Amino acid sequence: MDEPHSQDTAGNPQGTFARQREADLQADAQTWDTSRVEPARPGDIPIIDISGAAQDPVRMAAVVDQLGQACRHVGFYSLLGHGISPAAFNDVFASAARFHAQPLAAKMTLAMDQPDLPPGAGYLPVQHRKLPRRAQGNANEAFIVKRDSGLSFDANPWPLEAALPGFRGSVIAYAQAVETLALRLLPFYAQALSMPADFFAPAFGDALLRLRLTHYPGEVAQDSSFGIAPHVDTTFFTLLAQDQPGLAVYSERRRCWIAVPKVEGALVVNTGELLKQWSNDEFISVKHFANNTSASSSPGTGQSRYSVPLFFNATSNYPMTCVPSCCGPDRPAKYPTISYNQSQGVVQGE
């Protein structure tokens, strides 16, 4: 099904592809003109309510059609009927605020990339230059935990319980609730691609999750261009909770950047590069960035913004071969069969 790709010296065509894809994405991002962001118009970001759809075939068909349209033409939608309670959102935002209110020295004991910590987990200070990797720092700080084959949430770096009582349990409970939702969404995605409802199930038996507690400070330096730099996510999909607006996405329909409104109680969901590639570009992955729109360069006058995305991926060694409905003799696969592990060169953002 896949088009042939030349191998590198290690005999790893997937590794070559991933490195080139990352370089292409970073280079492309440098060309995006983000100087103007337009207000969203009705319908720019679809609102999809999945409540009751699993029990009603007619409603399920309608939701599948809505989701397919959103993933093909917009790349983002606001999700309602998801079952995550307002209390759960409030709790995870409070947990993020508690963590980031700690002294910097305490947070730096959990800094990412320490040799004894799992890769890709831990604390990133303000003006870090990764996730997404960029030459200019991102005006946010983040605490990231992940779960992968052989790595439980408990095995991540965590603050001591005495320092932040209940923090670990609260964050893990939220991650597990959103994972349950993500698994509920898989049949919608499969059917939106004209596949059986259980098509994606084997790929997510041990899903790779990364949860990010992001804080955009209320005060920013004058030279800070972005809270988080323009990028595309590399996930299957991302489910984002945000306590206030600040996300901007590129509208392929309007050919301009638009500000994503905050829909009360909704999660913002977007397609990532892996699903785009898995579907042979049937679903689109949309560029986006985030800022704290209430931030100020004057001390004490800005308001913090918090966002909590869960990056959802297939089991990390699962080979993602082009979805059969998305390729054929007259539509060859554009991408090699690849697992998340083989695509590790590409990194995630908001």
Is the alpha carbon torsion for 184, 188, 193, 197 positive or negative?
Answer: positive
What pLDDT sits at residue 197? 98
Task: Fill in the DSSP letter of residue 126.
Answer: T
Domain positions in the chain are 32-343
Residues of the chain with pLDDT under 70: 1-30, 129-137, 221-225, 295-301, 344-350
In words, the CATH class of domain 32-343 is: mainly beta
What pLDDT sits at residue 343? 74
What pLDDT sits at residue 23? 58
What pLDDT sits at residue 294? 78
Calculate the CA dihedral of residues 322, 315, 170, 162 and round it to 10 degrees.
-140
What pLDDT sits at residue 229? 84
Q: How far apart are CA 135 and CA 114, in angstroms?
A: 21
Tokens encoding 224? 């800070």
With residue 39 as reference, give the H or E element that holds it.
Answer: strand 37-39
Specify the residue for token string 């003109």: 33
pLDDT one-digit tens code per residue, 186-245: 999 999 999 999 999 999 999 999 999 999 998 776 555 688 888 899 899 999 999 999
Q: How far apart are CA 107 and CA 102, in angstroms?
A: 7
Q: Tell me the sheet residues that pair with 147.
A: 209
State whether residue 85 is helix, strand or coil: coil
Rg, the chain, Cα only: 20
What pLDDT sits at residue 134? 60
What pLDDT sits at residue 29? 61
Say what the pTM is: 0.89
